[in-house]
């Protein structure tokens, strides 16, 4: 068996730099936060998915956003749905809903602060 001697010259090749570790750790944390957000939203998603088909339709999105706490006008609902309907099928899956719901909440909170 061949032994490897570590020296300052070959140590940098054997051990990743801290910046690479930092980038990987940041990416892992971002993925964990996304997963946590989705898991946390599953009950809300199921509540709004009134027909239980695994998607939020335009009609279901309208019910969400035109009532409390959002109170958005119908045209804003259509804009938000189109913005987050990444596959263009006219409805939101759980991933699209997570982004949609976060944007709706942020928009609602900022409009309440302004008014």
Q: Supply the Cα-derived Rg of the chain in whole angstroms.
A: 22
pLDDT value at position 98? 87
Q: Do residues 51 and 58 lie in contact, with contact meaning Cβ atoms separated by under 8 Å?
A: no
Among the ranges given (29-33, 103-107, 110-114), the one the predictor scored with the smallest mean pLDDT: 110-114
DSSP label at 89?
A: S
**Of the CATH numbers 1.10.238.10, 2.40.160.10, 1.20.1300.10, 3.30.450.20, which one belongs to the domain with range 39-114?**
1.10.238.10
61-84: per-residue pLDDT in tens?
888 888 888 888 888 888 888 899
Q: Is the pTM of this model over 0.75?
A: no
Tokens of 72: 């958005």
Q: Do residues 93 and 85 lie in contact, with contact meaning Cβ atoms separated by under 8 Å?
A: no
Query: Where along the chain do its domains lie?
Result: 39-114
pLDDT value at position 114? 47
Instruction: Give percent above pLDDT 90 in the chain.
Output: 15
Which of 21, 39, 41 minimizes the C-alpha distance to 31? 39
Distance CA 83, CA 85 (A): 6
pLDDT value at position 89? 92
């Amino acid at each position: 068996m061949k032994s490897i001697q570590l020296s300052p010259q070959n140590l940098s090749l054997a051990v990743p730099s801290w910046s690479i570790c930092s980038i990987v750790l940041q990416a892992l944390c971002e993925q964990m936060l996304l997963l946590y957000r989705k898991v946390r939203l599953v009950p809300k998603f199921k509540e709004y998915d009134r027909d239980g088909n695994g998607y939020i339709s335009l009609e279901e999105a309208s019910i969400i956003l035109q009532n409390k706490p959002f109170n958005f006008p119908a045209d804003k609902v259509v804009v938000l749905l189109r913005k987050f309907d990444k596959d263009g099928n006219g409805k939101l899956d759980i991933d699209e809903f997570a982004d949609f719901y976060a944007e709706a909440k942020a928009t609602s909170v900022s409009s309440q602060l302004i008014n």
